[in-house]
Chain A
């Protein structure tokens, strides 16, 4: 159920191709252009949250991310997998005693994607202020 909801959410919010990385935004970008060039993979709220959280904390476990994002196991799994498939985050599975433990870290590519996204948001704001 949660998985279906996450996928439906994706269809609504990510009309572009998943993982399609836009060019680095320039300073002279117009306010209209950025919407079309957004990195849709990161733009989705939950995925943006995952990437932002991992940018601040080197490693977070699945349950820490789940509690931080206030989401379901299914939703988090689906979105984390998308980020993992794009190479934005890395996943390491291990055991703590008998309990399975999943840890996520942000890759260099994921960090660059977040920086690009931040540049993009700033460019949109600058553009609106310049008008």
Chain B
């Protein structure tokens, strides 16, 4: 696992000449603890239960989407589900950060967001550009691939299970594009529903919350 290292400032003996006042050393110690926790925390900033929640949203969304006749209506169902997923992820990640006594936008959380957001934005722009003209399987393949790329990039600084989750989404995306169009809905269920449930449960169990 790649982790960034914590530089250890030298501690001067108590009462040494030129030593910083006691309270300044206390502040420095608190900063050191916080920095160490942020860098060690890695993925703990992201909620495993939140990922499970996203998977649970995807299941009814897949059912509702499959009943839509037009691609536009089908897409609207998934966009609404994505909005709900973002709310769940943010709320549960904030709750987990509070429980750990860390800011939500901490070192690892910020790095994850910075790596993840560009591909998410690329997906949104592509979706808007393609609108209802694109075949569903192309949209599903692109969503899974881009989401997987974002998670893989964000997870590069995290525990191994996160990039593995990202790669699984990318594999699902490639499989969607290589499969008959009629299978696209199943890849949505298996990807955004199944993979989130499996990896979210694993992360919540192994890394907490």
Which residues of A are interface residues toward B (Cβ below 8 A)? 12-13, 31-32, 34-35, 44-46, 48-49, 52-58, 60, 64, 67-71, 114, 118, 120-122, 124-125, 127-129
Contact = CB atoms under 8 A, between A and B. Distances in A.
Given A49-B36, A57-B40, A58-B208, 15 more contacts: A32-B22, A35-B14, A44-B11, A46-B8, A52-B32, A52-B40, A53-B37, A53-B39, A56-B37, A56-B44, A57-B207, A67-B3, A114-B33, A118-B30, A121-B27
Top 6 nearest A-B pairs by Cβ distance? Answer: A128-B23, A53-B40, A56-B37, A56-B41, A52-B36, A124-B26
B7 interface: yes
A56 B38 contact: yes
Interface residues of B, number: 33
Name, among A54, A57, A67, A122, the residue most crowded by chain B CB atoms within 10 Å (CB to CB).
A57
Contact of B32 (A45, A55, A60): A45
**Interface SS, B side:** helix
B21 A128 contact: yes
A107 to B, nearest CB: 16
Contacts of B32: 45, 48-49, 52
A34 B22 contact: yes
Nearest to A71: B8
